[in-house]
Amino acid sequence: MAGQHLISTNPLSLPEIRGILKNRFTLALSEEAEKLIVRSHEYLHQHLKSAPAPVYGINTGFGALCNTSISRENLETLQRNLVMSHACGTGEEVPAEVVKLMLVLKVQSLAYGYSGVQLSTVNRLLAFFNREVYPIVYQQGSLGASGDLAPLAHLCLPLIGLGEVRFQEFKLKGHEILDIFSWDPIRLQAKEGLALLNGTQLMTAYGALVCLRARQLSAAADVVAALSLEAFDCLSTPFLPQIHGIRPHTGQLHTADRILRLLSGSELQNKPKPQVQDPYSFRCIPQVHGASLDALEYTEKVFTTEINSVTDNPSIFPEEDLMLSGGNFHGQPLALSLDFLSIALAEWGSISERRTFQLLSGQRGLPQFLIQEPGLNSGFMIPQYTAASIVSQNKQLCTPASVDSIVSSNGQEDHVSMGANAAVKAYQVVQNVERILAIELMAAVQALEFRRPLQTSPSLEKVVAAYRAQVAPLEQDRVLQPDIEKSIRFIQDFPFDDLMT
């Protein structure tokens, strides 16, 4: 039976997010969170009764219309109009796993009690998550400042019976899902539409998932590189601690140590080697993989902070009797780190493709393209083409989004982060790197066939045996696309970290 996660003011970590999603936990609010939400909502409405002064987005218009006053009788209409008017997303649908996490993160942000929403609104978002009702959200439309306005509008349209959702493989109208569960549409009160739409939950959901997948890739890249190193008959001396102790970048030290531990007990390492040095793509694994690992560590810190932040506007501070307008919705920290992580991910893929190329080159006793009778058979020639094309696509995707900006809302919102674009690109890059590493894995394990009867280390032989249980050796040409797909799933699912504990 699936467990339950209580949303509270306790920090939510990336590993906890992985557990919530992987184990299909349901969500509930802690008693503390419920009290904070109710207190904030009550304070807001008491404030509106006693203080008629303009408060942005509550009794004023939005963006460049912030100086336009709205009468008390129109406050609910204002919030409903906000959600409807901002639902201007387009393009491809946001993947369900991202939408699912957006729901978690929106509730987490509201649960701190700085947003003034009704408890019933938060509980409806929880019901969507727990019932696996995923609003249809579109990838394009967010500037990454003022929050992810258009995507979050689509996320929240079904609360009021509009928009569309996916439920049990069906695409349904918002009012249809309300009918199925006998739910009444939420009547948005003062500030609620703004609290729901202001926020960085699209960027943060994409980024958190990219971080989680990148963490798996960081281990997979080292293991696959170690397999290639063994298959290409490389030296282990570039990984000795003396080298890395005099240039002690954290990721570099960690990667070098991983590789040495993975090679421990290898018969292939005891084999005499004629070369003085190996190509950079083997010799510089600690320096390249390690730098990417350091970038991942930085990005994880940024997203852990964001996951546990309040990013709507204005913010309500009942204890201080304050309602303050600010810019916590601006996605600049996320945009910069997503661009950084995309580049780091792409480098894991770039150096991987170079190792694949070397394995196919017919050097060091390996046949050309890792196949008997090359010429009659093309062997692994074209998988390397595929990897090369993906590496080049990553180069194009890694053009930074965060250096761009464009003026919106008649000049009121005059600097934006483009963090949503950075997030969508990063999500594609991490998928691309999984594919590149999968192709290197195919080539490395195939190359090891030509080193038999010598064996690599016990740890790496476990990987080879698990992989060979899914993908057979290539003895003559066959259609390799199914092998690539199986290899991608292997990269995504195999517990690489367990080999190094």
**pLDDT greater than 90 at residue 42:** yes
Contacts of 52 (CB under 8 A, 6+ apart): 59
pLDDT digits (tens, 9 = 90+) for 315-367: 999 999 999 999 999 999 999 999 999 999 999 999 999 999 999 999 999 99
Compute the distance between CA of residue 384 and CA of residue 478 in angstroms, rounded to an integer: 15
Across 135-158, average pLDDT: 96
Inter-residue contact 151 to 202 (CB < 8 Å)? yes
Same fold yes or no, 4-199 and 206-500: no
Q: What mean pLDDT do residues 284-312 have?
A: 98
Q: From start to end of 157-197, where are the E strands?
A: 164-167, 170-173
Q: What is the rounded distance in angstroms from the CA atom of residue 354 to the CA atom of residue 232? A: 12
Output the pLDDT for position 73. Answer: 72
Structure tokens at 410: 């008649």
- Pairing relationship of beta strands 315-317 and 322-324 according to DSSP bridges: antiparallel
Q: Round the average pLDDT of the chain to a whole number and report it.
A: 95
Burial class (CB within 10 angstroms; exposed 0-12, middle 13-18, buried 19+) of 366? buried
Confidence of residue 211 (pLDDT cuts 50, 70, 90): very high
Nearest CA to 323 out of 45, 108, 38, 86 is that of 45
Q: Which amino acid is at 102?
A: M
pLDDT band (50, 70, 90) for residue 67? low
Gap between the Cα atoms of 140 and 118, Å rounded: 29
Cα 185 versus chain centre, distance: 32
pLDDT average, residue stretch 413-435? 96
φ and ψ of 33, to 5 deg:
-65, -45
Q: Could you give the residue ranges of the DSSP H alpha helices within 232-331? A: 241-245, 250-263, 267-270, 280-283, 285-307
Q: Could you tell me the pTM of the whole model?
A: 0.95
Q: What is the DSSP string of 264-280?
A: TT-HHHHS----S---H
Predicted confidence at residue 146, as pLDDT, reads 84
| Superfamily the domain 206-500 falls into | Fumarase/aspartase (Central domain) (1.20.200.10)
CA–CA dist 219, 325 (Å, integer): 43
Burial class (CB in 10 A: 0-12, 13-18, 19+), 101: buried
Phi, psi of 29 (to 5 degrees): -85, 140
Segment 201-227 shows an average pLDDT of 98
Tell me the pLDDT band of 51, cut-offs 50, 70 and 90: low
- At residue 189, the 3 state secondary structure works out as coil
Q: For the chain, what are the domain ranges? A: 4-199, 206-500
Interior angle at CA 319, CA 313 and CA 324, nearest 5: 25
pLDDT tens profile 446-457? 999 999 999 999
Residue bearing the bigger pLDDT, 79 or 121: 121
Q: What is the DSSP string of 432-477?
A: HHHHHHHHHHHHHHHHHHTTTTS---HHHHHHHHHHHTTS---SS-
* The predicted structure's pLDDT at residue 411: 81
Q: What is the mean pLDDT of residues 421-436?
A: 98
Q: 197 falls in which pLDDT band (50, 70, 90)?
A: very high
CATH, domain range 4-199: 1.10.275.10
The residue-averaged pLDDT of 271-283 equals 96
User: How confident is the model at residue 2, as a pLDDT?
Assistant: 72
Give the active site residues.
Answer: 56
Tell me the average pLDDT across 462-477. Answer: 98
Residue 487 or 54, more confident: 487
What amino acid occupies position 330?
Answer: H
**pLDDT confidence tier of residue 1, bands split at 50, 70 and 90:** very low
pLDDT at 59: 72
- Do 382 and 480 touch, CB atoms closer than 8 A? yes
- DSSP secondary-structure letter at 403? T
